[in-house]
Amino acid sequence: MKLLKGTKLYSILTGTCPVCHEESMYIESNPYKLGKVYKMHERCSNCGTKYKIEPSFFYGAMYVSYAVGIAFAVAAFIISYYFLGASLLGGFFSIVGTLVAFMPVIMRLSRNIWINLFFNYKEDTGKAYSDE
Ligand SMILES: [Zn+2]
């Protein structure tokens, strides 16, 4: 994972600050604590990046979550139908099961992808980094 540091993939997979990659954006690291799945820090305590650019910023992540959900669904179907030899109905249920089981992960991945569309990694973002 450390090898990926500095790439958007690192921030997306780990949920770290999209600018400095040093700190988690989320207060609770386990997405399966559902009451806290969306609880995020206001800004990065390392570089000061404000995550929520505008009040409804993360609504856009919904659109990303459709795409991520479809990717998970396709993967679940291919694995169950082609590799595990499930029936079409079995494939369908594995899609539903996968989407339910991975929902918190999908929700967070979508946010991570979304925020990484707006921020870029900057090296050496210390305390000097200003708000805007
Ligand atoms: Zn940061």
pLDDT digits (tens, 9 = 90+) for 75-122: 999 999 999 999 999 999 999 999 999 999 999 999 999 999 999 999
Give the residue, 128 or 116, on which the prediction is more confident: 116
Ligand 1 mean position, distance from CA 24 (Å): 8
Q: Which of 62, 57, 64 is nearest to 43 (CA)?
A: 57
Instruction: Give the pLDDT score at 14.
Output: 96
Instruction: Give the pLDDT score at 3.
Output: 82
Residue pLDDT, tens place only, 12-66: 999 999 999 999 999 999 999 999 999 999 999 999 999 999 999 999 999 999 9
Q: Over 80: is that where the pLDDT of 127 sits?
A: no
Confidence of residue 2 (pLDDT cuts 50, 70, 90): confident
Q: Over 80: is that where the pLDDT of 128 sits?
A: no
Ligand 1 mean position, distance from CA 104 (Å): 23
DSSP letter (8 states) at residue 35: G
Per the CB < 8 A criterion, the answer to whether 114 and 58 are in contact is yes
Q: Which of 108, 115, 110, 116 is nearest to 31 (CA)?
A: 108
| Domain extents in the chain | 2-116
Instruction: Give the pLDDT score at 125.
Output: 65
> Rounded CA gap, 118 and 31, in Å?
23
Instruction: Give the pLDDT score at 132.
Output: 45
Q: Which of 15, 10, 18 is nearest to 26 (CA)?
A: 15
Ligand 1 mean position, distance from CA 127 (Å): 9
Instruction: Give the pLDDT score at 1.
Output: 72
Ligand 1 mean position, distance from CA 50 (Å): 9
Ligand 1 mean position, distance from CA 131 (Å): 11
